[in-house]
Chain A
Amino acid sequence: EAGVTQFPSHSVIEKGQTVTLRCDPISGHDNLYWYRRVMGKEIKFLLHFVKESKQDESGMPNNRFLAERTGGTYSTLKVQPAELEDSGVYFCASSPTLNYGYTFGSGTRLTVV
């Protein structure tokens, strides 16, 4: 079974530019999550999709972040325009049901310079 796939693995962009991160969850997993870890801090929740619907986006830091999940399959997270404090590792995770251990993707390391 293929795991959760994230692309790109690394991205270095300048402040003010736009970056789009992609996540392909495990096939059949309705629940898809985005998390972020900034330097020295704990991993924090960004949002949760159930199929194509946003179930909870309370962790999204501001309106520069936009997440979509087309047709309930893969998801994208766009940051526009990027700021220095957006640097960190963005993890995607999926699970078949709630309260079930997630499977994480290997993350996208975003550096904004």
Chain B
Amino acid sequence: RKEVEQDPGPFNVPEGATVAFNCTYSNSASQSFFWYRQDCRKEPKLLMSVYSSGNEDGRFTAQLNRASQYISLLIRDSKLSDSATYLCVVVTYTGNQFYFGTGTSLTVIP
């Protein structure tokens, strides 16, 4: 069983739409959670950390549900520049290893 599962998409949404991605993880002892963004043929870049209380950064909202072992990312008012692959990342309890999902592809259409 994979450590992190993500729906690969692709998600094709019009500009201005709201889109949500979910990710599940298998290790209940996982300690930290992140969303990364990866543009085509580029390196992953940290988008935001995910906290149990939920956190928001502008149009982006991340949520963590420890009981159900899933993480979500909500993007409101989608922009063309949001088109990318979004990677869900879970960190082991030892804190030294990231487990990546395969990524969810988003294309925002004019």
B46 CB contacts on chain A under 8 angstroms: 101-103
Q: Quick one: which of B59-91 are within 8 Å of A by CB?
A: 87, 91
B106 at the interface (CB under 8 A from A): no
Known interface pairs A103-B46, A104-B44, A104-B45; A43-B96 also in contact (CB < 8 Å) = no
In the complex, which residue of chain B has the Cβ closest to the Cβ of A6?
B43
Within 8 A of A (CB), among B23-47: 31-32, 34, 42-46
Interface check B99, CB cutoff 8 A: yes
> Given A43-B87, A91-B43, is A55 in contact with B100 using a C-beta cutoff of 8 Å?
no
Q: Are A43 and B44 also in contact (CB < 8 A) when A56-B97, A99-B91, A99-B95 are?
A: yes
Cβ of A64 within 8 Å of any chain B Cβ, yes or no, is no
* Residue count of chain B within 8 Å CB distance of chain A: 23
Contacts of B45 in A (CB 8 A): 104
What are the residues of chain B within 8 A of A35 when measuring CB–CB?
A: 98, 100
Q: A76 to chain B: which residues have CB within 8 Å? A: none
Kindly list chain A residues whose C-beta atoms are within 8 Å of the C-beta of B101: 42
A59 contacts which of B49, B95, B97 (Cβ < 8 Å)? B97
- Taking CB atoms, residues of chain A closer than 8 Å to B44 are 43, 91, 104
Complex Cα spacing A88 to B98, Å: 18
How far does the Cβ of A53 sit from chain B's closest Cβ, in whole Å? 12
Mask for A40-75, Cβ within 8 A of B = 1, else 0?
011111001000000110110000000000000000
A89 vs B87: C-alpha distance when bound (angstroms): 16
- Known: A35-B98, A42-B4; 11 extra A-B contacts, CB below 8 A, are A33-B98, A42-B2, A45-B98, A48-B96, A56-B94, A56-B97, A58-B97, A59-B97, A91-B43, A98-B96, A101-B34
Name B's A-contacting residues (CB within 8 A).
Answer: 2, 4, 31-32, 34, 42-46, 49, 87, 91, 94-103
Instruction: Supply 13 A–B pairs (Cβ within 8 Å), ascending by A.
Output: A35-B98, A35-B100, A41-B102, A42-B4, A42-B102, A43-B87, A45-B98, A98-B95, A101-B49, A102-B98, A103-B46, A104-B44, A106-B43
